[in-house]
Amino acid sequence: MIGRTALITGSAKGLGRRTAIELATLGCDIAINYVTSQTEAEQLAEEIVSLGRRAIAVKADISQPETSDKLVSEVERELGGVDILINNAGPFIRERRLFADYRPEDIHYLMNGNLVGTMLLDHRVLPGMRTRGWGRIIHFGFGHAGEARSWPHRAVYAAAKVGLVSFTKTLAVEEAASGITVNMICPGDIRGGNKEKSIADVAGIIDQESPRGRPGTGEDVARMIAFLCLPESDFITGNTIDISGGLDPIRTTLTK
């Protein structure tokens, strides 16, 4: 993986940050994307540079359609072509709302941030990946997104991510002959600081809701992403992969 460049959206904190470190340890140069977390993004860039890799921090809001070209162009200018695109960023409104209570601007914001912005970024990096005959694209969903079930009070977010499932599968078929794989990662209920922790950090901690019995961590997600990005993983494409310890996050939420 030495010499590959990875662009990870929303990577100043949380799962994106943990993924950035994982890919850097494999030899990738990293483009860190943020909207408001400039300090954290710059600190992460310094940490990756200390690992012997190149890193930059780039401000861009993927919910704004016009920003995708600027974001990728800056990465290409500073680090070279984007070999790996991790679409981690995606707005989420935590307040539980009926669909009828959403404002039109909320609907556009969630759809642009979780579906349209991701598609535009993919569209922007595909020509370079095709030219090089190699690429890895990872989308983020939610647990059981591939089943397209109802998710009351999360209608818009769920619709965007379920639409992304179909797009993932379609793009995977279209680009397979070009050496580009496209997969979706569907994390379970990984909370707060656990998004940046290692598996060892939660050893011995009991999670009564998880069938696995322990909390999920950022390492659980980052290790799967790293595996999918390896050259030897070129036969794995068009998949939605749950990383949930067996938890059904939708059903768990509805029964509370």
Query: 84-141: per-residue pLDDT in tens?
Result: 999 999 998 889 999 999 999 999 999 999 999 999 999 999 999 999 999 999 999 9
Query: What's the CATH number where 192 sits?
Result: 3.40.50.720
**Residue range(s) defining the domain that contains residue 165:** 5-255
Q: How many CB atoms lie within 10 A of CB 51?
A: 12
Tokens 């990096």 belong to 125
The strands making up 5-8's β-sheet, listed across from edge to edge, are 55-59, 29-34, 5-8, 84-87, 135-140, 180-187, 240-243
Domain count, the chain: 1
Q: Which two tokens stand for residue 162?
A: 């379920």
Alpha helices in the chain, H assignment, sequence order: 14-25, 38-50, 67-79, 104-111, 117-132, 155-175, 218-229, 249-255
| Sign of the CA dihedral running 6, 87, 225, 51 | positive
pLDDT of residue 216: 87
pLDDT at 253 > cutoff 80: no
Q: pTM for the complete prediction?
A: 0.94
pLDDT at 168 > cutoff 70: yes
